[in-house]
């Protein structure tokens, strides 16, 4: 308990020293497993597409005590006996069938109304023509592609292209996991779901960009010392930005969680419930992916750059690196340039972010070791 | 497509399914349906009457002597009338036929041997008063010169079948007139090109025909129209206000036909402009009926009024508005959300939102203390601005708050809080690195703001892409997301930053960063960057405040 309290306290003060790179290994393994499960579910179970994408008619009626079997019996005369019938949230019956003529629709409607003991008007009816669905899907796909393209360009321009790659990988990871979640539990995918996915992507990106911004800031400052690898600098940035990410997630999760709870208690708010669940999963995954997926990808990519290769070499030769835990950037190095008494600190941080140090520091002469 | 005020699915589908071509035509003539049906009936009797009439006219053409028409003391030589002294059989009408009564003849040759003067009477010249038994004979007095002053006509009343004969003729005529009307107002069938005269029906709500309109060629099509709204004005009631596009393809065309109709010229004798949609007349208002001189309309100052109920006015406005589309719409998706389900979702959403807000505020207060208060205030501000804009858009553009919109708003909470968090964390870091709170506040803001802008721009790009490339719910969501992001930027820059700046200068506060939720490190004392202190990290915390 005390340990827990001290962890919290350290987090509150931003003094935690989490070793992210070490966690990355586990995280990436875990992510891979989850992604594989998602794919598998997608392939074998498929997704439950709502009528907005497939066409047909859907009837929803609040009917707390009616079972699926009873509903199917009642519908036998209306030609909808082989419809997809489900209960949502225990209170609502949803029937989906390929009936599109008004007479057929109305007959199912009145049958359901009678069954549930409500008036016709209490039955929600949605009819979708077949071409609508394919159009919506087409539009959604185009929007998604355009979105990815623009975001990639934006990040590449504002930050750097390697970060754009990392961001896209993270976003795709989030989407795959979210869709897999829906597929696994066979939740219905409607336009509202698509919105949820888009929200998740938006959050993930937002988070990732803030992380990257911090990384660039730190890297810009600390690279000049030549004493730390990119990964170590990234570790520092992640630690600094952790609480910010966590806080944002918490403040986003709280309204969504309340939507989820309210939705599960209120009659008829099933859409809200499923939606909230997707959002919840997505936000959590989004935060995780910013810190573990996006960061890891970029670190891997950046370490290959000649400058960082050189630095890593030098450090290894100096023997300063011990084992495979990430060294902590020493406090004075971390704050180098940011707490300077003059006003040049922040400016230096801004201008140096993105520029690589022109002159590597002179190698120290120690006996017995030669630079390769 | 939003149809305000329409809450029945079938009516919505009807209205939407109707939007084919919209045309404005001058009205040549119109007829209430009842009159048409009456004419139809009358014309139907024409078939019976034509047989009788054929007999009548042939008989009447035969010269016939009747017992009845004699002229006593009519001197043959004085008679200008040409007497056809054919011996004719008595006719059914009992009136002998007289040829032209006005012609002069050679009196000598016309001398009759008899004392008889035979009057030929053209039956068409007979004006019958069908209500009585009177038969009025028009005789040109010049044609008759008698020696005496008397002209005596003896007419055998029994021989006169006035009721039958004259009424029949009258009926015949009425039937013929009716047939003309029926032909004139028969509906045009098939493809109706824009430039011909047509006859079109007007329906009431129950789809019964109420009137028939004979219309001239199209003057303006829906292309010339920009839109229409239904409006209410006291003393006038509900009317429709269309807006035409300016220039020669819109308002000028309309004024052209308006002028012609106002003048009730040959092209528009009825003085009305008919609004035709889907080969039906929706409405046929008259043009400036109260003013003697036609004043050309301004493109947006036209009103169509006619004791419309609200429903009628809205329907016409909708028809005009969407009839301006050159496409035909086919219903692809229709959804009735029962009121109870909708309300439940709405109240659930609102409740969830409020609870969520409350909990978030609580968390912020615990974590950031005073700064948390600022964050809540900033949240409230952007919330208020967002609400105002949404309300305004709802009024002016008919923007509806859907579930997607509510989601967008909830996301907006996250976005708004996040920008605060970015700034606060930056502050904390700066203070922990040894800055004073006041300088940290000044220094951190531009840096933090640049981060916020970067991230918010990504959100805005996402929202813009979604808005322009998608339809329906997703589009609504994108709108709310974009709005919330922009407002967040505004609130952060103009409110949150300055507010924190002000607060941090108050003496009681800046000495105590803990109040701001900025704890001082306990285990690791301040690192003062000062190369001369060697490996640093041993000097004490600058503010010396306990965390």
Q: Which residue does chain B place closest to A260, by CA atoms? A: B352
d(CA B143, CA B74): 12
Percent over 90 (pLDDT), chain A: 1
Query: Which tokens is B188 given?
Result: 């045009």
The arithmetic mean of pLDDT across residues B223-237, rounded, is 79
Contact check, Cβ <8 Å, B462/A338: no
Comparing A17-26, A45-54, B277-286, B352-361, the range with the smallest average pLDDT is: A45-54
Give the residue from B77, B68, B79 showing the smallest Cα distance to B108. B77
- Picking from A121, A143, A210, the nearest residue to B466 by CB comes out as A143
Higher pLDDT, A88 or B252: B252
Query: CB of B77 within 8 A of CB of B106?
Result: no
B222 pLDDT exceeds 80?
no
Give me the mean pLDDT over the B340-368 stretch.
77
Mean pLDDT of B59-71: 40
Nearest residue, CB atoms, B432 vs list A14, A261, A343: A14
Most A CBs within 10 A among B375, B465, B481, B521, hence the mutation to make, goes to B465
Q: Do B332 and A247 touch (CB under 8 A)?
A: no
pLDDT at B273 over 50: yes
> Biggest alpha carbon distance in chain A?
95
Q: By mean pLDDT, which of A34-48, A191-205, A316-330 is the weakest? A: A316-330
Instruction: Give me chain A's average pLDDT, please.
Output: 76
Residue A356 has pLDDT above 50, yes or no: no
Chain B contacts in chain A segment 123-162 (CB below 8 A): 123-129, 131-132, 136, 139-140, 142-143, 146-147, 150-151, 154-155, 158-159
**Using the beta-carbon criterion (under 8 Å), do B418 and A248 form an inter-chain contact?**
yes
- Tell me the chain B residues in contact with residue A257 when contact means C-beta distances shorter than 8 Å: 356
Distance (Å) from the alpha carbon of B252 to chain A's nearest alpha carbon: 39
- Pairing mode, strands B220-221 and B22-32: antiparallel
> Looking at chain B, which residue has its C-alpha nearest residue A252?
B414
Q: Is the pLDDT of residue B145 over 70?
A: no
CA distance B297 to A94: 54
Res. B71: pLDDT tops 60 = no
| Across A258-267, A312-321, B361-370, least confident range | A258-267
Question: Mean pLDDT throughout B18-31?
Answer: 77
Give which of B385, B363, B383 is closest to B372, Cα–Cα: B363
Higher confidence at residue B335 or residue A196?
A196
- Residue A24: the pLDDT is 84
Check if A191 contacts B (Cβ < 8 Å).
Answer: yes
Residues of chain A contacting B459 with CB distance shorter than 8 Å: 202, 205-206
The more confident residue out of B51 and B83 is B51
Contact B338 A122 (CB under 8 A): yes
Distance from CA of A132 to the nearest CA of B (A): 6
Residue B5 or A116, more confident: A116
Check if the beta carbon of residue A175 is closer than 8 Å to that of residue A293: no
Q: Which of residues 246-265 of A touch B (CB under 8 A)?
A: 247-248, 250-252, 254-259, 261-263
**Contact with chain B for residue A292, Cβ under 8 A:** no
Q: What's the whole-number mean pLDDT along residues B477-486?
A: 84
Output the CA–CA distances (angstroms, integers) from residue B442 to A244, B67, B260, in the order listed: 20, 130, 73
Banded model confidence at residue B534, pLDDT cuts 50, 70, 90: very low
pLDDT at B54: 52
- CB–CB of A136 and B411 under 8 A? no
User: Comparing B444 with A127, which gets the higher pLDDT?
Assistant: B444
The closest of A107, A161, A153, A232 to B457, measured between CA atoms, is: A153
Quick check: A188 and B467 in contact, CB under 8 A? no
pLDDT at residue B236, as a whole number:
73
Calculate what percentage of chain A has a pLDDT beyond 70. Answer: 79
Find the closest chain B residue to A62 by CA distance: B341
For residues B299 and B246, is the Cβ–Cβ distance under 8 A? yes
A8 in contact with chain B, both atoms CB, cutoff 8 A:
no
Tokens of A7: 């962890």
B74-83, B225-234, B392-401, B437-446: range with lowest mean pLDDT: B74-83
For residue B397, what pLDDT is reported?
Answer: 67
> So what's the pLDDT on residue A363?
59
**Nearest CA of chain A to the CA of B543: how many Å?**
15
Give the residue from chain A lying closest to B430, CA to CA. Answer: A339
Which comes out higher in pLDDT, residue B56 or B299?
Answer: B299
Confidence band of B166 (pLDDT split at 50, 70, 90): low
Mean pLDDT of all residues belonging to chain B: 69
Residue B303 has pLDDT above 70, yes or no: yes
Q: Which of B336, B429, B519 sits opposite A240 (nearest CB)?
A: B429
Q: Which of A352-356, B153-157, B170-174, B393-397 has the lowest mean pLDDT?
A: A352-356
Output B2 or B274, whichever has higher pLDDT: B274
Query: Nearest CA to CA, how far is A316 from chain B (Å)?
Result: 23
Angle between helices A270-288 and A230-265 (to 10 degrees): 170
The answer to whether the CB atoms of A132 and B333 lie below 8 A apart is: yes
B454 → closest Cβ in A158, A240, A346: A158
Most confident range (mean pLDDT) of A121-125, A186-190, B449-453 is: B449-453
Label residues B229-255 b or e (16+ Cβ within 10 Å = b): bbeeeeeeebbbbbbbbeeeebbbbbb
Give the pLDDT confidence score for residue B324 in this predicted structure: 53
More confident residue, A355 or B216: B216
User: Mean of the pLDDT values across residues A119-148?
Assistant: 76
B90-103 confidence digits (pLDDT tens): 333 434 433 333 33
Which tens digits make up the pLDDT trace of A186-221?
Answer: 777 877 777 778 778 888 888 888 888 888 888 888
Kind and range of the H or E run holding A172? helix A161-185
Question: Cβ(A185)–Cβ(A292) under 8 Å?
Answer: no
Q: CA neighbours within 13 Å on the CB side: how many for A162?
A: 15
| Position with higher pLDDT, B532 vs B52 | B52
Chain A residues close to B415, C-beta within 8 Å? 206
Give the number of residues written for chain B.
Answer: 547
What does each C-alpha distance from A42 to A37, A158, A254 come to in angstroms?
Answer: 8, 35, 29
Higher pLDDT, B192 or A104: A104
Measured between CA atoms, the residue of chain A closest to residue B349 is: A259
Angstrom distance (rounded) from CA B366 to CA B372: 8
Please tell me which residue, B158 or B277, carries the higher pLDDT value: B277
SS3 assignment, position A76: helix
Per-residue confidence at B133, pLDDT binned at 50, 70, 90? very low
A251 pLDDT exceeds 80? yes
pLDDT at res. B239: 83
Supply the pLDDT for residue B43.
79
Selected residue with higher pLDDT from B53 and B361: B361
pLDDT mean over B117-128: 49
**Whole-angstrom distance, CA of residue A49 vs CA of residue A39:** 16
Mean pLDDT of B132-137: 50
Rounded to whole angstroms, how far apart are CA atoms A195 and A160? 28
Q: Please report the pLDDT score of residue A14 as a whole number.
A: 67
Within 8 A of B483 by CB-CB distance, chain A residues are none
Interacting residues of A1 by C-beta distance below 8 A, sequence separation 6+ = none
Residue of A nearest to B447 (CA): A346
Instruction: Give contacts of A 199-218 with B, CB under 8 A.
Output: 199, 201-203, 205-206, 209-210, 213-214, 217
Query: Do B335 and A155 make contact, defined as CB atoms within 8 angstroms?
Result: no
Cβ–Cβ gap B336/A124 under 8 Å: yes
Percent of chain B with pLDDT over 70: 57
Contact A251 B363 (CB under 8 A): yes
> In the β-sheet with A92-97, what is the strand arrangement from edge to edge?
A84-88, A92-97, A56-62, A124-128, B333-336
Q: How far is CA B157 from CA A180, A360, B49, B153, B259, in A?
A: 107, 140, 24, 11, 59
Selecting from A13, A124, A332 the residue whose C-beta is nearest the C-beta of B338 gives A124
pLDDT per residue over A262-298, tens digit each? 766 665 556 667 777 888 888 889 888 888 888 888 8
pLDDT at position B542:
38
């Amino acid at each position: 308990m005390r340990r827990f309290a001290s962890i919290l306290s350290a987090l509150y003060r931003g003094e935690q020293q989490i070793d992210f790179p070490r966690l990355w290994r586990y995280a990436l393994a875990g992510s891979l497993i989850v992604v594989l499960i998602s794919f598998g579910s997608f392939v074998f179970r498929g997704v439950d597409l709502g009528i907005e994408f497939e066409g047909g008619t859907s009837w929803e009626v609040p009917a707390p005590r009616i079972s699926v079997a009873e509903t199917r019996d009642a519908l036998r005369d209306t030609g909808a006996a082989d419809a997809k019938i489900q209960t949502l949230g225990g209170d609502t019956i949803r029937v989906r069938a390929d009936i599109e003529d008004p007479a057929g629709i109305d007959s199912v409607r009145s049958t359901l109304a009678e069954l549930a003991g409500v008036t016709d008007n209490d039955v929600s009816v949605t009819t979708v023509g077949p071409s609508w669905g394919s159009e919506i899907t087409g539009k959604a796909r185009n929007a998604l592609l355009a979105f990815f393209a623009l975001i990639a360009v934006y990040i590449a321009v504002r930050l750097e292209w390697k970060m754009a790659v990392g961001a896209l990988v993270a976003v795709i990871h989030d989407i795959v996991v979210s869709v897999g979640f829906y597929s696994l539990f066979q939740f219905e995918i409607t336009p509202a779901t698509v919105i949820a996915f888009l929200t998740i992507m938006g959050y993930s990106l937002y988070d990732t960009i803030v992380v990257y911004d911090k990384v660039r800031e730190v890297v810009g400052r600390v690279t000049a010392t030549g004493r730390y690898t990119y990964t170590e600098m990234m570790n520092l940035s992640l630690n600094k930005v952790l609480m910010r990410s966590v806080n944002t997630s918490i403040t986003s999760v709280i309204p969504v969680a309340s939507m989820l709870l309210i939705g599960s208690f209120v009659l008829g708010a099933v859409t809200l419930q499923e939606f909230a669940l997707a959002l919840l999963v997505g936000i959590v995954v989004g935060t995780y992916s910013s810190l573990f997926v996006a960061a890891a990808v970029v670190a891997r990519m950046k370490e290959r750059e000649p400058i960082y290769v050189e630095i890593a070499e030098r450090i290894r030769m100096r023997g300063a690196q011990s084992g495979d835990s990430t060294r902590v950037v020493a406090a004075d190095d971390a704050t180098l340039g940011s707490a300077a008494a003059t006003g040049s600190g922040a400016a230096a941080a801004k201008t140096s972010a993105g520029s690589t140090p022109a002159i590597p520091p002179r190698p120290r002469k120690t006996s017995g070791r030669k630079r390769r | 497509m939003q149809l305000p005020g329409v809450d029945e699915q079938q009516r919505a589908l009807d209205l939407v399914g109707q939007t084919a071509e919209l045309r404005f035509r001058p009205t040549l003539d119109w007829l209430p349906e009842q009159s048409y049906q009456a004419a139809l009936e009358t014309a139907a009797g024409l078939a019976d009457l034509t047989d009788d009439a054929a007999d009548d006219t042939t008989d009447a053409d035969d010269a016939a002597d009747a017992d009845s028409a004699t002229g006593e003391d009519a001197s043959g030589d004085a008679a200008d009338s040409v007497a056809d002294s054919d011996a004719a059989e008595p006719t059914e009408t009992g009136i002998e036929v007289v040829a032209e009564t006005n012609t002069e003849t050679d009196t000598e040759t016309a001398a009759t041997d008899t004392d008889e003067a035979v009057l030929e009477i053209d039956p068409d010249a007979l004006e019958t008063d069908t209500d009585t038994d009177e038969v009025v004979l028009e005789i040109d007095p010049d044609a008759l010169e008698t020696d005496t002053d008397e002209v005596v006509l003896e007419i055998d009343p029994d021989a006169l079948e006035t009721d039958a004969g004259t009424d029949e003729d009258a009926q015949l005529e009425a039937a013929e007139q009716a047939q003309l009307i029926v032909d004139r107002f028969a509906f045009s069938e098939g493809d109706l090109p824009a430039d011909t005269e047509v006859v079109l029906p007007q329906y009431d709500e129950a789809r019964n025909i109420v009137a028939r309109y004979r219309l001239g060629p199209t003057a303006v099509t829906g292309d010339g129209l920009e839109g229409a709204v239904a409006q209410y004005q006291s003393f006038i009631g509900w009317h429709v206000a269309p807006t035409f596009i300016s220039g020669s393809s819109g308002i000028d065309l309309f004024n052209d036909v308006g002028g012609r109709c106002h003048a009730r010229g040959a092209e528009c004798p009825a003085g009305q402009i008919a609004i035709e949609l889907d080969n039906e007349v929706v409405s046929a208002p008259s043009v400036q009926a109260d003013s003697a001189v036609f004043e050309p309309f301004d493109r947006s100052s036209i009103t169509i009024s006619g004791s419309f109920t609200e429903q009628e006015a809205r329907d016409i406005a909708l028809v005009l508005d969407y009839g301006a589309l050159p496409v035909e719409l086919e219903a692809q998706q229709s959804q009735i959300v029962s009121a109870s389900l909708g309300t439940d979702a709405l109240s659930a959403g609102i409740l969830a939102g409020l609870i969520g807000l409350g909990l978030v505020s609580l968390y912020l207060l615990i974590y950031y203390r005073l700064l948390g208060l600022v964050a809540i205030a900033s949240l409230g501000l952007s919330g208020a601005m967002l609400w105002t804009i949404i309300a305004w858009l709802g009024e002016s553009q008919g923007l509806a708050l859907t579930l997607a919109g509510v989601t967008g708003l909830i996301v907006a909470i996250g976005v708004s809080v996040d920008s605060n968090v970015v700034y606060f964390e930056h502050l904390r870091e700066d203070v922990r690195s040894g800055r004073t709170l006041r300088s940290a506040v000044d220094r951190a803001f531009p840096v933090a703001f640049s981060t916020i802008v970067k991230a918010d721009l990504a959100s805005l790009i996402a929202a813009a892409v979604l808005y322009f490339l998608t339809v329906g719910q997703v589009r609504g969501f994108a709108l709310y997301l974009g709005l919330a992001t922009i407002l967040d930027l505004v609130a952060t820059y103009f409110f949150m930053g300055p507010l924190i700046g002000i607060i941090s200068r108050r003496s009681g506060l800046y000495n105590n960063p803990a109040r701001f939720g900025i704890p001082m490190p306990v285990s690791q004392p301040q690192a003062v960057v000062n190369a001369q202190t060697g490996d640093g990290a041993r000097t004490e915390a600058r503010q010396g405040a306990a965390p």
